[in-house]
């Protein structure tokens, strides 16, 4: 099986650019994605309903297990080095996506999207994200292979982005100021009310977009912004189109469940921006020094995992201290 899937021998310390995957492997993975998406939409969420925390937790466990399990497929067919690159890319994309999830929460809250309809919006948002990410991935790898100096451009961009992400203090997001929203309202007539799960509706024979379509467009627009950050970050780990796409796709598939699980946890993860900034800075530096020193994939994975763990622990401890302090103040006021 390995011989038919792997068309070129790989080096344990390479970035995987010479990994050539057979067309049937691409077709099989894309077919798997399609089956999972169709089952999710037409089997498990045929009827609009509010996603409970329990359902979100079970679904999240399923998607994460699926994403991690696919690393064994990569290991069995492409080798341990490729599996390490896949896991690192998966963890990077998953961690950077948490920020995306919180932006979704702001958008859905601003437009007061009924909870029963939120899954449908995010489903199509994730579907579009998969297509857009594929375009970004192939374009980014093509640029790196054609122009060697783009390596430094991507690396410098990640370092600058790391500073911007780490120093922003969770400033308030204003969806109404989004230029995409302003442009859409000029081009397409939009109703003020929802019409079930429909993105379009007819009023007096005229076709109108519902607010649900506006939300979908904004969700897709934010994903483009986050893809600009995450795709170069993964390209610092591997140049294999197959590994970059599969790690990205497996991470993105679980975003909807992650949203329903974490949408109310933004305040608890107060230092998330610092942790993500450190991760982006690390992969940016890794890309900048790649021609002189290649940081091993396993070390990259360990660094990212440690940074995420420290970020979560410090954030939760700070939140617990604030709760204890507030409880003490309330007790003093009572006495």
pLDDT in tens, 215-254: 888 888 777 777 777 788 888 888 888 998 999 889 888 8
Q: Check the CA dihedral 142-145-148-153 and report its sign.
A: positive
Task: Answer whether residue 334 shows pLDDT above 70.
Answer: no
Q: What's the rounded Cα separation, in Å, for the pair 23 and 32? A: 14
pLDDT above 70 covers what percent of the chain? 82
pLDDT above 90 covers what percent of the chain? 8
Q: Out of 3-17, 19-33, 90-104, 183-197, pick the least confident.
A: 3-17
79's tokens: 């080798």
Task: Answer whether residue 176 shows pLDDT above 60.
Answer: no
How does 67-86 read in b/e, with b if 16+ C-beta sit within 10 Å? Answer: beebbeebbebbbebbbbbb
- pLDDT, residue 55, reads 79
Longest dimension (CA), the chain: 76
H or E element in which residue 203 lies: strand 200-203
Closest CA to 269 of 325, 311, 324: 311
Q: Which residue has the higher pLDDT, 75 or 19?
A: 75
Mean pLDDT, to the nearest integer, of 79-84?
88
Domain ranges of the chain: 45-322
Mean pLDDT, to the nearest integer, of 163-170?
72
How does 240-268 read in b/e, with b if 16+ C-beta sit within 10 Å? Answer: bbbbbbbbbbbbbbbbbbbbbbbbebbeb
Task: Answer whether residue 171 shows pLDDT above 60.
Answer: no
The DSSP-derived string for 113-151 is: --HHHHHHHHHHHHHHHHHHHHHHHHHHHHHHHH-TTHH
| CB contact at 8 A, 44 and 36 | no
- pLDDT, residue 38, reads 81
pLDDT in tens, 62-73: 889 999 999 999
Mean pLDDT, to the nearest integer, of 269-274?
80
- pLDDT, residue 72, reads 94
Q: What's the rounded Cα separation, in Å, for the pair 185 and 262? A: 30
When pLDDT is cut at 50, 70 and 90, the band that residue 47 belongs to is: low
Q: At what angle do helices 115-146 and 80-110 cross, to 10 degrees?
A: 140
- pLDDT, residue 71, reads 92
- pLDDT, residue 6, reads 47
- pLDDT, residue 21, reads 80
Task: Answer whether residue 13 shows pLDDT above 60.
Answer: no
pLDDT in tens, 109-121: 778 788 778 878 8
| CB contact at 8 A, 126 and 253 | yes
Task: Answer whether residue 326 shows pLDDT above 70.
Answer: no
- pLDDT, residue 29, reads 92
pLDDT in tens, 296-321: 877 888 888 888 889 889 988 887 88
Mean pLDDT, to the nearest integer, of 145-170?
75
Q: What's the rounded Cα separation, in Å, for the pair 118 and 314? A: 31
| CB contact at 8 A, 239 and 144 | yes
Task: Answer whether residue 263 shows pLDDT above 50.
Answer: yes
- pLDDT, residue 1, reads 41
Q: Which residue has the higher pLDDT, 269 or 180?
A: 269
Q: What's the rounded Cα separation, in Å, for the pair 330 and 335? A: 9
Q: What is the mean pLDDT of the chain?
A: 78
When pLDDT is cut at 50, 70 and 90, the band that residue 75 belongs to is: very high
């Amino acid at each position: 099986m390995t011989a038919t899937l792997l068309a070129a021998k790989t080096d344990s310390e390479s970035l995987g650019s010479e990994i050539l995957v057979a067309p049937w492997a691409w077709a099989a993975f894309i077919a798997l994605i399609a089956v999972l998406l169709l089952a999710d939409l037409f089997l498990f969420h045929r009827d609009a309903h509010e996603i409970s925390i329990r359902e979100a937790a079970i679904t999240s466990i399923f998607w994460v297990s699926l994403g991690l399990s696919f690393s064994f497929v990569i290991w069995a067919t492409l080798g341990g080095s490729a599996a390490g690159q896949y896991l690192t890319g998966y963890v990077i994309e998953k961690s950077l996506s948490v920020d995306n999830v919180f932006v979704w929460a702001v958008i859905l809250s601003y437009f007061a999207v009924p909870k029963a309809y939120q899954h449908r919006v995010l489903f199509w948002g994730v579907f579009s994200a998969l297509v857009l990410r594929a375009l970004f991935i192939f374009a980014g790898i093509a640029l790196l292979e054609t122009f060697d100096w783009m390596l430094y451009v991507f690396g410098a961009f990640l370092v600058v982005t790391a500073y911007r992400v780490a120093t922003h203090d969770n400033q308030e997001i204003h969806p109404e100021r989004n230029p995409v929203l302003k442009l859409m309202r000029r081009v397409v007539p939009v109703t003020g009310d929802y019409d079930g799960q429909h993105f379009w509706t007819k009023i007096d024979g005229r076709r109108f977009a519902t607010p649900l379509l506006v939300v979908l467009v904004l969700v897709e627009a934010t994903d483009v912004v986050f893809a600009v950050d995450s795709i170069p970050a993964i390209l610092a780990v591997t140049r294999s189109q197959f590994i970059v796409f599969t790690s990205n796709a497996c991470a993105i598939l679980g975003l909807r469940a992650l949203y329903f699980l974490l949408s109310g946890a933004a305040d608890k993860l107060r230092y998330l921006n610092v942790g993500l900034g450190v991760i982006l800075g690390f992969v940016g530096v890794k890309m900048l020094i790649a021609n002189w020193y290649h940081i091993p994939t396993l070390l990259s994975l360990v660094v990212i995992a440690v940074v995420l763990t420290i970020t979560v622990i410090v954030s939760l401890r700070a939140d617990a201290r604030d709760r204890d302090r507030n409880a003490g103040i309330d007790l003093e006021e009572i006495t």
